[in-house]
Amino acid sequence: MALSFSTPKKPLTAFSMAGLADIVLLLLVFFLLTSSFIPNFGIQVNLPRADTSVPMQSQYVTVVITGDGQFYVNQDRVAESDLLVRIREAQGDRTALVLRADEAATVGQFAEVAAIAKALDLRVLMATERGPRSRR
């Protein structure tokens, strides 16, 4: 008597995609939750630290002062003499100016941007890194 190991059933040829879709969805949720949603600006400055900070929004005019004294308005390099004109052009219907100044920037540079903002009736917000203040 010979043993027959074959079955009358055909092997399963259809592949269910439900399990694969679940895995892809879980991976998508994982990467969305673990990724950083903080916008990275192209101009790198060392911001001072503060206990609280205001989140950046697109309705602000952004002015950057680098450590070597260069000015940028909405990521475009601007000569110090053209600051008023360029901030006025970028203002549109915006009511606030966010100043991202490097720790090495001078108080005079900050005062100049603040005076221009005051002349254009803009509120001045200082961008800082979130975290405890360092005692020097």
Which domains are present in the chain? 49-130 (3.30.420)
> What pLDDT was estimated at residue 5?
74
> What pLDDT was estimated at residue 33?
78
Spatial contact of 129 and 53, defined as CB atoms under 8 Å apart: yes
> What is the Cα–Cα distance from 107 to 47, expressed in whole angstroms?
14
Number of separate helices (H) and strands (E) present in the chain:
3, 7
* Average pLDDT, 10 consecutive residues per value, the chain (136 residues): 72 73 87 67 65 60 89 90 90 86 87 90 81 58
Spatial contact of 116 and 84, defined as CB atoms under 8 Å apart: yes
> What pLDDT was estimated at residue 69?
87
> What pLDDT was estimated at residue 48?
65
> What pLDDT was estimated at residue 106?
87
> What pLDDT was estimated at residue 21?
84
Task: Return all residues near 62 (Cβ < 8 A) that are at least 6 apart.
Answer: 41, 56, 72, 73, 74, 75, 97, 98, 100
> What pLDDT was estimated at residue 72?
92
pTM of the model: 0.55
The backbone torsions φ and ψ at residue 35, rounded to the nearest 5 degrees and listed phi first, read -80, 160
- Measured from the Cβ of residue 35, the count of other Cβ atoms closer than 10 Å reads 8
Cα separations in angstroms, 31 against 26, 75, 88: 9, 29, 40
